[in-house]
């Protein structure tokens, strides 16, 4: 089974890029973030034509928004509002995998603004609150150990030294500050989640899934960050087959600033 996560930065503007990726990678499930599309305007028909009959969406007008597209039917869909805000940052779908339920969480964590200090930047406070709520909720569901779980999405944090182009220069830049990194690690450890990227690629190796629009030549300067993640619970570790970041998609016409991240399970 192949799962792709991708911050598409407007699903309507880039529906052709979704089709292009789907044609090349043929994933069974696609998790999108930043769809920037209200539910009643979601391009469900186009998605169906690509072979994804099952569509779960949590969108709002203008900003944020997540969607999970699947060839495999969902047995259940859950939407949780974090920080008491209906801002389209989470959707959980449950499906059958290997004769047992598989819970798939699709997240879009707040970016957190520019200043890494909640006293002067409430967006950063929101990001920290969101992560704390993730930790609380994911820990709460820990009892049901029989359920296989995958968590994907744009978590807007690059946790490790080689998840950014310059650890030293980004220590005070939101997405790589010690406070966020520590909190994300707490979230990950709360459920013994396995960071799939680092299960396949050594920690010393640079790994990015996002390159800013603001650089002259993203490819040459290569100042990226690994903001997009795939985590699995230990129950799924034996099923891990391969992991890949589709870097080429950053060079497509009118690209998203994020690229697809791919997991293959046996």
Partner DNA sequence: ATGGTTGTGGAACAA
* Interacting residues toward DNA by CB under 7 A: 9-10, 12-13, 36, 61-64, 110-111, 113, 123, 156, 212-214, 254
**Least Å distance between CB 117 and DNA?**
14
Which of these, 256, 263, 258, lies nearest to 226 by C-alpha position? Answer: 258
Q: Which is closer to DNA, CB of 75 or CB of 169?
A: 169
Q: Which is closer to DNA, CB of 51 or CB of 113?
A: 113
Radius of gyration of the chain (CA): 17
Interior/surface letters 151-171, b for 16+ CB within 10 angstroms, e for the rest: bbbbbbbbbbebbbbeeeebe
**Biggest alpha carbon–alpha carbon distance for the chain:** 50
Q: Are the beta carbons of 137 and 89 closer than 8 angstroms?
A: no
Q: Which is closer to DNA, CB of 102 or CB of 174?
A: 174
DSSP helix/strand/coil, 149: strand
**Least Å distance between CB 112 and DNA?**
7
Q: Which is closer to DNA, CB of 10 or CB of 239?
A: 10
**Least Å distance between CB 131 and DNA?**
14
Q: Which burial class, exposed, middle or buried, applies to 149 when counting CB atoms under 10 A from its CB (0-12, 13-18, 19+)?
A: buried
Q: Are the beta carbons of 221 and 232 closer than 8 angstroms?
A: no
**Least Å distance between CB 1 and DNA?**
29
Q: Which is closer to DNA, CB of 123 or CB of 247?
A: 123
**Least Å distance between CB 62 and DNA?**
4
């Amino acid at each position: 089974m192949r799962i792709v996560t991708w911050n598409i930065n407007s699903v309507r503007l880039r529906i052709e890029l979704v089709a292009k990726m789907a044609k090349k990678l043929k994933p069974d499930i696609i998790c999108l973030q930043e769809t920037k599309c209200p539910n009643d305007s979601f391009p469900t028909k186009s998605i169906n034509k690509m072979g994804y009959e099952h569509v779960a969406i949590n969108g709002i007008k203008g900003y944020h928004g997540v969607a999970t597209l699947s060839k495999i039917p969902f047995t259940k869909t859950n939407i949780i509002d974090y920080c008491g805000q209906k801002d389209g940052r989470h959707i959980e779908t449950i499906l059958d995998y290997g004769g047992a339920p598989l819970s798939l969480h699709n997240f879009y964590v707040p970016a957190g603004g520019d200043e890494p200090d909640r006293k002067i930047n409430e967006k950063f406070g929101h990001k920290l609150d969101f992560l704390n709520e993730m930790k609380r909720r994911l820990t709460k569901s820990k009892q049901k150990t029989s359920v296989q779980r995958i968590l994907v999405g744009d978590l807007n944090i690059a946790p490790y030294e080689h998840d950014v182009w310059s650890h030293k220069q980004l220590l005070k830049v939101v997405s790589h500050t010690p406070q966020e990194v520590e909190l994300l690690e707490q979230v990950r450890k709360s459920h013994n989640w396995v960071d799939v990227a680092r299960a396949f690629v050594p920690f010393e190796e640079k790994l990015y899934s996002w390159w800013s629009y603001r650089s002259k030549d993203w490819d040459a300067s290569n100042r990226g960050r690994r903001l997009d993640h795939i985590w699995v619970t230990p129950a799924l570790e034996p099923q891990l087959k391969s992991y890949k970041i589709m870097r080429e998609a950053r060079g497509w016409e009118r690209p998203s600033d994020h690229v697809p991240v791919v997991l293959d399970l046996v």
